[in-house]
Amino acid sequence: MIESLLEKIESGTAVVGVVGLGYVGLPLVREFTRAGMHVMGFDVDEKKVKALMAGRSYIEHIPAQVVKDMVRSKRFAATTDFRKLSKPDCILICVPTPLTKQREPDMSYVEATAGSVAATLRKGQLVVLESTTYPGTTREVMLPILASAGLKVGRDFFLAYSPEREDPGNKSYSTKTIPKVVGGCDKHSLAAAVALYEVAIDQVVPVSSAAAAEACKILENTYRSVNIALVNELKVLFDRMGIDVWEVIRAAATKPFGFHPFYPGPGLGGHCIPIDPFYLAWKARQYDMSTRFIELAGEINVAMPRFVIDKVTEALNDRGKAVKGSRILVLGLAYKKDVDDMRESPSLELIELLQKKGAKVSYNDPHIPR
């Protein structure tokens, strides 16, 4: 089975299926079609599928012309019919992995997608999970569902994990140029996944296991979360001390070694960074370990919108005004500059908190239409 799959990949005749046509999946579709592969896109959102097949894009950094070219080339087609998952030779899963209200991992999208794949799984297929998640997900969640089809991993089908590293709006790095970490459930699965990504990505980085690849992404995002929490806490402290934290960071950044600048903000946004540390903390509890440092960083970042509200209230009070009835304009709605992605954006919480206090809130963001 592995020889046949590798031959298809290397000859460019393998069909790639991408499940989830959002900020992760659609850029992958673009790169594999650019590489000459035939790609099938799957999504439960009929509006997205219809838009793509009509040559329209709903993601700002993927122009409509790119979508039109993919469709006209006959190398790409999108569908909501998951029964067609038997057709691709390689299936890449790019579905959300949010938190529950209890801030625990919500695996429902991954489990549902794995179930859909299992329903049509055939011999020789490669399945790769790209969704950010805790170490162990591929083996503990994906594998049992797929194996229920009666096939054996590493012999009949192949299973791997490769964390998405998308950074929307980044003009220096793209899907193609960001190194791709890959870990497999066995040596054949790893070989198939590496061969597939080498078709479309400049550098592929194999690791020893799927769990190592999962842990890699969690480390990357936890690293950012705890460092942002550090400067957020210093922002609050220095504010009380009458010190400009931005001036301090700029000065510290002149040190040519041992320091990397991070910057404070009204909270964390995007799909990964606000969520991943909680995934890791949840998993750590299964090993009787409390990740106190990581969890505290998450709590600090979560509290930042209320610090902003306190500063707004203070500024209005200084001018003899109350928040209630005040007209407040929020500049920027996305989670970072120059993108149209509002996922987990702290601006949404800021608006909600201000409205609860009776403020009349409006916003302006050139990337997000009203």
Residues serving a catalytic function are 272
With the C-alpha atoms ordered 241, 243, 249, 255, is the resulting torsion angle positive or negative? negative
Nearest to 130 by CA among 42, 214, 223, 220: 214
Residue 252 burial class via C-beta count within 10 angstroms: exposed 0-12, middle 13-18, buried 19 and up? exposed
Residue 154 burial class via C-beta count within 10 angstroms: exposed 0-12, middle 13-18, buried 19 and up? middle
With the C-alpha atoms ordered 111, 115, 116, 120, is the resulting torsion angle positive or negative? positive
Place of tokens 């990505």: 201
- How many Å is the Cα radius of gyration of the chain? 23
Residue 361 burial class via C-beta count within 10 angstroms: exposed 0-12, middle 13-18, buried 19 and up? middle
Rounded to whole angstroms, the Cα distance separating 215 from 369 reads 37
Token output for 222: 């936890």
Concatenate the DSSP letters of all residues of 20-46 into one string: --STTHHHHHHHHHHTT-EEEEE-S-H
Nearest to 265 by CA among 305, 219, 208, 312: 305
Rounded to whole angstroms, the Cα distance separating 304 from 343 reads 17
